[in-house]
A and B are shown apart, each in its own frame.
Chain A
């Protein structure tokens, strides 16, 4: 039983947290790919940008003396999401739209997104420096220990940011689902992802759809970035390092397929935690294990945790490039 709870703590809870962050990021990547047909490499830095905006807002809120039972970083989230969405629209207006208007190949947009990545990274570090920061400098990070009603059993550990990220992701996913299936602009987005020219001739406001895409992608990026920073720590290369697992999640789910991206996010999250988990622990309950039974049964050493996502990415690209669900083809 102890072993099982250890598994729950190490694999299920941290996998769900990681998966939620990946899913939020991957939805943005996949929406942009579906509508605008290019891999948006600057997405990771949009997440970092969102996290830093949240951090600034936390400073403002604490200066104003606003105190809540929830972490302030979570309270400021709606504002940070709005600001990041506005910035995402600005980035599109400033960098991608002029290129689209010239009718360049989508490959050029990808290279332009690298340019945006570099500028965002430079700016973030220019203003914020390279130091790491914590959202919990002035507050306590609550850790819940859930005791089971059995004696001598370790407790289930879950921290407040972990609960928040999982719950918020579920809400965001539901909201996105209703937006895509019920609202006019959401239906327009799905139509445009299927066939842009057909969508345009059927009178769908394609410019509006593009704006909606950036707003959703920007706000989800801010949410994912802030949540990641709340759970781990805030640093300038926070999300640049996970932009590839996010792409892996989007590809696994099928680029352009939003539900696939969510599934892919959780799949990659769990794959990472499960592959570094020492499965040998699960067998400790058995008393008469033979001597030769290995002490370490983890699939890969811990330092290769991120590599798992890349390997899944490459394997999926080779075996089933359209993803688990059939994605849009470029």
Chain B
């Protein structure tokens, strides 16, 4: 079994070498950076779905939170914002939000039994409405002022690596709130709820122009490692060499991060905590009856997975140096991660790592491969007198989505456990 895994990973290595041969080396490095970022995200989903059986279809939301947070932390300071009334008005809006939250919290403290029980639901609706109106009355003028005078709030100008950490923290905080609300739901309902929440997050990040600049996009988001321009400035003459060095540096830091996280996840999986999680996944009633706090443990693992997704999202944004909220699509950012862990093998970290890198490479090369395929067919149809295929380039791009669907369908049918399936360890081995 271990040998089979080794062969699969060796195959992946050969595939990457072939890529480097086919494309240029810097482009392969770029693919690898993204592939490792997606592997990290796949590990996060593997923690949620593979360890604990939580049906999270809101991966995109956490990636967006990670990306936007990283941008906020590492983008340079915007003096126009800090010298305007913006910070004070935002502070007032924050106070309004806290006051509203306190009001809602106060109403939820009304006991469900007793004199006020009948009014509870009604009061709760009123409290939400009041909180919403109060918050809107503060945030709307603040947003208008910032957009008019300073464009958007800008960043804090801190090192990019803090941005990655903060991306993970923010995603974790949001996951805590979502988990608190949604984790009581069962499979299909949880999937629909999380996908709904991720769409809400997308709408917010896309439309809160004062915070994220919305569809106008923010760039350049800094790198944690030297950029090609920095390397050229330090005396490397050849621009190709500078790109190569810069991307290698970025890849090294991402690989190091994935390696460290992988090590700890694997330790956690093999330890008592991992066993408890699998027990909850396989039979939460039995796990509950022997004294495990199912709700709390599930919330814990949901947050942990989301942190990994947030860091992954931060890395993706940081690498392209661009925060573009309209670039986030459920296909590219949620469904692809599901394909990764289904194909790789849910419940096995090696499977998630393999699936993440493998599927990302398949996703990337299915476009040029389709161009070649279509050109062949086009030549044949031209030869047969039917005529060539129009717009091969733009059509080939769409093949990526089709190939993704085909891969997951085949995986579900012929290898439902994935290529590196979960292995249940028994004492005999």
Q: Give A residues with C-beta under 8 Å from B.
A: 33, 38-39, 95, 98-99, 104, 106-108, 110-112, 114-123, 125-126, 129-130, 244, 247-248, 251, 255, 301, 303-304, 306-307, 310-311, 313-314, 317-318, 321, 330
Contact = CB atoms under 8 A, between A and B. Distances in A.
B61 to A, nearest CB: 11
B191 A104 contact: no
Given A114-B338, A118-B405, A129-B395, A310 B185 contact: no
Given A119-B409, A247-B192, A317-B185, A129 B391 contact: yes
B112 to A, nearest CB: 13
In the complex, which of the residues A118, A130, A306 has the most CB atoms of chain B within 10 Å of its own CB atom? A118
A130 B185 CA distance: 37
B398 A122 contact: yes
Contact of A106 (B188, B207, B400): B188
A76 B275 CA distance: 58
A20 B237 CA distance: 65
A321 B185 CA distance: 8
B335 A313 contact: no
A107 B338 CA distance: 13
A314 B203 CA distance: 15
Nearest to B410: A115
Nearest to A114: B335
Contact of B412 (A115, A303, A313): A115
B416 A317 contact: no
B413 interface: yes
- The 9 lowest CB-CB distance pairs between A and B, nearest first, are A122-B402, A118-B405, A119-B405, A122-B401, A125-B398, A115-B408, A310-B196, A115-B409, A39-B188
Contacts of A301: 207
Contacts of B403: 122
Residue of B191, B196, B391, B400 ringed by the most chain A CB atoms within 10 A: B196
Given A121-B401, A301-B207, 16 more contacts: A104-B412, A107-B187, A111-B342, A112-B409, A114-B338, A114-B408, A116-B409, A126-B395, A244-B195, A247-B192, A303-B206, A304-B203, A310-B197, A310-B200, A314-B182, A330-B186
A209 to B, nearest CB: 20
A106 to B, nearest CB: 7
Contacts of B409: 95, 112, 115-116, 119
A126 B412 contact: no
A38 B55 CA distance: 13
A330 B186 CA distance: 8
Contacts of B191: 39, 110
A126 B398 contact: yes
Interface string B186-217: 11110111011101100110110000000000
A88 B204 CA distance: 35
A107 B192 CA distance: 12
Contacts, number: 134
A112 B412 contact: yes
22 contacts: A38-B188, A39-B192, A107-B55, A107-B187, A107-B188, A114-B408, A117-B335, A118-B401, A119-B402, A120-B405, A121-B402, A126-B398, A129-B395, A244-B195, A251-B192, A307-B199, A307-B200, A307-B204, A310-B203, A313-B192, A314-B182, A318-B184
A313 B416 contact: no
Nearest to A108: B412
A15 B185 CA distance: 30
Per DSSP, chain A at the interface is helix
Contacts of A314: 181-182, 193, 196-197, 200
B189 A317 contact: yes
Given A118-B335, A310-B200, A104 B186 contact: no
B331 interface: yes
A248 B196 contact: yes
Contact of A303 (B196, B203, B406, B408): B203
Nearest to A299: B132
A123 B402 contact: yes
A330 B408 CA distance: 24
B77 interface: no
B408 A111 contact: yes
A116 B412 CA distance: 12
Nearest to B370: A126
Contacts of A121: 331, 398, 401-402, 405
A118 B404 contact: yes
A187 B270 CA distance: 51
Contacts of A307: 199-200, 203-204
B394 interface: yes
Nearest to A126: B398
Given A111-B342, A303-B203, A330-B188, A98 B197 contact: no
B415 interface: no
Contacts of B199: 244, 306-307, 310
Given A125-B398, A248-B196, A99 B413 contact: yes
B320 interface: no
B394 to A, nearest CB: 7
B63 to A, nearest CB: 17
A226 B55 CA distance: 32
B425 to A, nearest CB: 23
Contacts of B399: 122, 126
Given A118-B405, A321-B189, A129 B195 contact: no
A322 B304 CA distance: 30
B189 A330 contact: yes
A119 B197 CA distance: 25
Contacts of B405: 114-122
Contacts of B416: 104, 108
Interface in B379-413: 391, 394-395, 398-406, 408-409, 412-413
A22 to B, nearest CB: 15
Contact of B401 (A98, A125, A330): A125
Nearest to B331: A118
A39 B195 CA distance: 12
Contacts of A318: 181-182, 184
A106 B187 CA distance: 9
A307 B199 CA distance: 7
Contacts of A129: 391, 394-395
Contacts of B193: 313-314, 317
A47 B203 CA distance: 24
A103 to B, nearest CB: 11
A126 B182 contact: no
Contacts of A311: 200
Nearest to A124: B398
Contacts of A114: 335, 338, 405, 408
B142 to A, nearest CB: 15
A116 B413 CA distance: 13
- Among B55, B401, B416: residue with most chain A CB under 10 A: B401
